[in-house]
Chains A and B, each alone.
Chain A
């Protein structure tokens, strides 16, 4: 277990280091760019007094390093500051929205991951026959379709014409699980369609890679059915790359959520971020940016850790 433990500890510390570097990057990106933040918030018509006041409120007169550590220190204790435009506490606003976003992403994941793996297996089983070709073609379509095309098409068909699901994904506190699920069904389906093809294709590639091994030939020669060969012999050995693919797509889901939330007017983090980018509310944008980046880095980290853990050679070194 020693080697695997060491590797994991290494990955985690690297992840933390990366997160710090990202926080610096986000801070630098919003503070030390040519545009004056106070000027861009107040616009061209601002009086010098207003500008000076706002600069003082924002702490823009402090040296950048002080401002960075004040900001970082706040984040460490869960204080993300207050929004410039509304004066609301950002941590409180984000808490409920983050829950909504994670719920949406989780529903999308529950639908897309099993479907993708199942269809990936089908593609391997019927390699170079029509199910495989269909899956390859759908990958091309799926990386080319913008999220809003899928989203509005689903709204038009399932929301407006058929009336099966609500066209706007409204959720509120105290809503029952069933209602909530019904409300997020169309956005979750949109996200599923966005990541499905890619996940499917990568699963197919990962399993096909394993299928070249000698032990697969043995399994085939001893007369096992092709599904059994794939399921019992290929899949367990392909689990690490498949999980990697799944995690990468989950990371993509979290990002794809931004556009999808705007399409469906869903009260999540993405909508919150976009609203405040156009209002030029820098503290909110920084906070959201950092949280999105942290989730993204975290999921990539989990993918790394799982691939270490699922490798028996690393778990039981000689």
Chain B
């Protein structure tokens, strides 16, 4: 791959996504203060000591943002992994096996998708224990429906190719066909989707935390921080907009990368791959 062909927008996306990832990985090293240390007055403005000011309890907002990046990114990434593994595997299996298994899975997914994701998540979370594992599983399973549809659609196309036919005639098993024949050919489409699903997870998690049903205090995630600082808005204190803005910037950056990958793969489908 030629680095020069990467458009500016994608570079921008890669740069700021890496910045967030860096903050998340090295959070304890770069955060100036501890996660829950009260270091100043309530809602102090931005200053040299507190670059982003302080929050509703007088904690350093920048430090909490950095730790928040860690929580938000980790949980969104884990939920994306659940969603992808489950959705892609079942989707490809449905396409390869076909018949009643395909019908059963596809109609089940139709049913799950007929309820808005957020609403169904709220219904389920009302009876499940409030912990991070539940959260990851609920988000992952509900989102797997989207991945299922996509990977099934791609796999159905690949499944009728001659080389799959050849593999079947050779007597390869279904697992082999899914992992060695279909997966490599579906990968580029799935990778572009991966970015979009990750962003959806970040937004989903933030919405749940904002509603008080996601990450529970004292842990910090960006959605929860919006909730903590929202009362300041009425007094003209923009502290809540900082985590909300971070979510927006992250979402836009990942979208820029996903757009670029998507364009690249459609170019490749054109056959020549000129750019």
B-binding residues in A (CB < 8 A): 18, 21-22, 25-26, 29-31, 33-35, 37, 40, 140-141, 143-149, 152-153, 155-156, 159-161, 167-168, 251, 254-255, 258-259, 262-263, 273-274, 276-278, 280-282, 285-286, 288-289, 292-293, 296-297, 300
Contacts and interface: CB of A to CB of B under 8 A. Distances in A.
A278 B125 CA distance: 9
A187 to B, nearest CB: 14
Given A148-B244, A155-B234, A282 B127 contact: yes
B129 interface: yes
B111 A33 contact: no
B213 interface: yes
Chain A: interface secondary structure? helix
B106 to A, nearest CB: 14
B151 interface: no
Nearest to A26: B123
Contacts of A141: 248, 252
Contacts of B94: none
Contacts of A259: 118, 207, 210-211
A148 B128 contact: no
Contacts of B210: 146, 148, 259, 262
Chief secondary structure at chain B's binding surface: helix
Contact of B241 (A153, A263, A276, A278): A153
A285 B252 contact: no
Nearest to B206: A146
Contacts of B255: 140, 143-144
A292 B111 contact: no
A280 B236 CA distance: 34
A168 B234 CA distance: 9
A34 to B, nearest CB: 8
18 contacts: A18-B114, A22-B115, A26-B120, A29-B124, A35-B127, A35-B129, A140-B255, A145-B248, A146-B251, A148-B223, A149-B245, A152-B240, A156-B241, A277-B123, A282-B126, A293-B119, A296-B115, A296-B116
A33 B116 contact: no
